[in-house]
């Protein structure tokens, strides 16, 4: 999934959103920087600053940032709920920002789905009617949209709740409705704006599992917004970290934890338990020919945390295999210990 796709599904380049300015009003100086004094005069605020990114087909990009970092604005620019001030957004090669109102509606009715932080369910509609809403907007016949919506209800595990109103459901159930609604049109592109942030920690974990299950079945192209770094690590193929409207770093979870690009990113990654991020592949050594290996092997993309107990229980190194069960390296117990106890390790060294 990490392999570079031929054509990205979503591509945005030098995207700016400045609240308080209309498109075309943005002024750059000779270095390509924004004229700040002009913004001050206009009482304008930069929400998204020079963001460029690609999302490949079937890729799950998590945009991580604290509140006010511009991540919600970014996702709304990508879905054109907000008109960007400058820059381009392409969806499967066609220019999103040049689309007419009609084409945009067409696109949303067929290609895009979005899940919202506070669920954004229509209070006057039942679960079924909420999920069927985008289908109704498309003008689908009643029998057909009821059938489709019932399928979605089964998919998110809400059977029997179809005639309840949103206010009668728990937060987790409400978000399941939100998810079902966003999937009802069978979109290729799935935007999720902090979908689990309003939920209790236990429910959040459950919903993340549910989300991973759905994604393994559906293989959508996803932009997922969160302020929770653990959530980002759990779900992401790639993570983009935003700060003050800029993308500080974009890369795989391992990449970000091992090579933080800026101080800001380092602050986040400092406390991250490395065994949760690093895979066997990233810490294995090449096999020395004479080495004797344990009988059971581990996979190259297993997280160290998940296999540590087994590896440390073996007296001898453990073989690492790739997707096709080919031996690609060995994992030494000392390496695993170094990852699990980084502080102790440095003390014994010195």
Partner 1 sequence: MKILLNKGLSKQRRTQGFLVLVALVAVLLLCKYFNLLPEFLDELPLHTEKSSIDVGYLEEASYDELVPVGAILDSAFYFLRDDLGVGIVTRFLSYDILKNLINIFDNILLGGSKGFGFGSPPWTTLLVIVLILGYALKGWRLALLSGGAVCYFAIFGLWQYAMETLSLLVAAVPVSILIGLVLGILCYRKKSVETMLMPILNVAQTMPHFAYLIPVVVFFGVGHQTGVIATIIFAAPPMVRLTLLGLQKVPPEILDAGKMSGCSNGQLMFRVQLPSARNEIMLGINQVIMQCLAMVVIAAFIGANGLGQRFLHKLISLKLGECVEIGFAIVLLAIVLDRLSRAWAEKKRDYTANLPFYRRYKYPILMVVLVALTYILSGYFPILDKIPRDLDVTYAKGWWYLTDWVVINWGSSLKGLRYFVIVDLLTPLRDALLYMPFSSVLLLVGGLGLLLGGYYSALLTLGFLVFIALAGWWDRAMITAYMVLFATFICIIVGIPLGIWSAMNERRARAALFWCDTFQTFPSFIYILPVIMLFQVNDFAAIMAVIVYAIIPSVRYTIEGLRNIPPELHEAVTMAGCNKRQRLFQLQLPVPLPHIMLGVNQTIMFAFSMVIIAAFVGTIDLGQSIFKALSETAIGKGVTLGLCVSFLALTVDHLITRWARERRQSLGLG
* Residues of this chain that bind partner 1 (CB under 8 A): 76, 79, 81, 105-106, 108-110, 112-114, 116-126, 129, 133-134, 136-138, 163, 178, 181-182, 185, 191
CB of 78 to partner 1, least distance (A): 12
Count CA within 13 A, CB hemisphere, residue 269. 24
Residue number with CB closer to partner 1 (198 or 328): 198
CB of 173 to partner 1, least distance (A): 17
CB of 134 to partner 1, least distance (A): 4
Q: How far apart are CA 206 and CA 196, in angstroms?
A: 10
Supply the DSSP string of 57-118, one letter for each residue. TT-EEEEE--TTSSHHHHHHHHTTSS--SEEEEEETTEESTT--HHHHHHHHHHTEEEE-TT
Residue number with CB closer to partner 1 (15 or 121): 121
State how beta strands 45-55 and 10-19 pair: antiparallel
Q: How far apart are CA 167 and CA 169, in angstroms?
A: 6
CB of 247 to partner 1, least distance (A): 22
Residue number with CB closer to partner 1 (80 or 287): 80
Chain mean position to CA 17: 21
Residue number with CB closer to partner 1 (129 or 248): 129
β-strand partners of 286: none
Residue number with CB closer to partner 1 (155 or 304): 155
Spatial CA neighbour of 67 closest among 191, 243, 236, 195: 243
CB of 257 to partner 1, least distance (A): 32
Q: How far apart are CA 72 and CA 65, in angstroms?
A: 9
Count CA within 13 A, CB hemisphere, residue 144. 8
Spatial CA neighbour of 282 closest among 266, 259, 265: 259
Residue number with CB closer to partner 1 (133 or 310): 133
Residue number with CB closer to partner 1 (191 or 243): 191
CB of 3 to partner 1, least distance (A): 30
Laid out side by side, the sheet with 94-95 consists of 45-55, 10-19, 86-91, 94-95
Residue number with CB closer to partner 1 (188 or 237): 188
Core vs surface per residue 311-337: b (16+ CB within 10 A) or e? beeeeebbbbeeeeeeebbbbbbebbe
CB of 218 to partner 1, least distance (A): 17
Residue number with CB closer to partner 1 (80 or 332): 80
> Which secondary-structure segment (H or E) carries 254?
helix 253-258
Q: How far apart are CA 230 and CA 228, in angstroms?
A: 6
CB of 118 to partner 1, least distance (A): 5
CB of 326 to partner 1, least distance (A): 44
Count CA within 13 A, CB hemisphere, residue 2. 11
């Amino acid at each position: 999934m990490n392999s570079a796709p031929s054509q990205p599904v979503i591509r945005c380049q030098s995207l700016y959103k400045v609240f308080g300015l209309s498109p075309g009003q943005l002024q750059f100086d000779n270095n390509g920087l924004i004229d700040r004094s002009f913004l001050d005069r206009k009482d304008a605020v930069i929400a998204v600053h020079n963001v460029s990114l690609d999302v490949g087909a079937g890729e799950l990009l998590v945009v991580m940032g604290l509140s006010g970092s511009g991540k919600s604005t970014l996702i709304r620019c990508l879905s054109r709920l907000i008109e960007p001030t400058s820059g381009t957004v392409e969806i499967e090669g066609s220019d999103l920002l040049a689309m007419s109102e009609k084409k945009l509606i067409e696109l949303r009715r067929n290609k895009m789905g979005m899940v919202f932080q506070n669920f954004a369910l229509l209070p006057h509609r039942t679960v079924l009617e909420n999920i069927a809403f985008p289908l109704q907007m498309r003008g689908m016949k009643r029998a057909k949209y009821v059938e489709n919506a019932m399928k979605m209800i089964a998919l998110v595990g809400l059977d029997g709740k179809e005639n309840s109103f949103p206010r009668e459901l728990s937060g987790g159930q409400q978000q399941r409705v939100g998810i079902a609604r966003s999937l009802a049109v069978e979109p290729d592109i799935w935007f999720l704006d902090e979908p689990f942030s309003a939920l209790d920690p236990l429910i959040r974990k459950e919903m993340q599992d549910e989300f991973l299950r759905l994604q393994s079945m559906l293989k959508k192209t996803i932009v997922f917004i969160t302020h929770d770094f653990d959530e980002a690590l759990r779900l992401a193929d790639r993570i983009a970290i935003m700060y003050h409207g800029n993308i500080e770093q974009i890369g795989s979870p391992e990449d970000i934890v091992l090579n933080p690009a800026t101080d800001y990113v380092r602050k986040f990654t400092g406390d991250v338990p490395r065994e949760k991020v690093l895979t066997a592949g990233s810490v294995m050594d090449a096999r020395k020919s004479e080495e004797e290996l344990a009988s059971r092997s581990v996979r190259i993309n297993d997280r160290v945390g998940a296999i540590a107990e087994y590896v440390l229980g073996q007296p001898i190194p453990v073989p690492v295999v790739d997707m096709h069960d080919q031996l690609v390296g060995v994992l030494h117990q000392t390496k695993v210990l170094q990852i699990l106890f980084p502080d102790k390790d440095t003390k014994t060294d010195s």
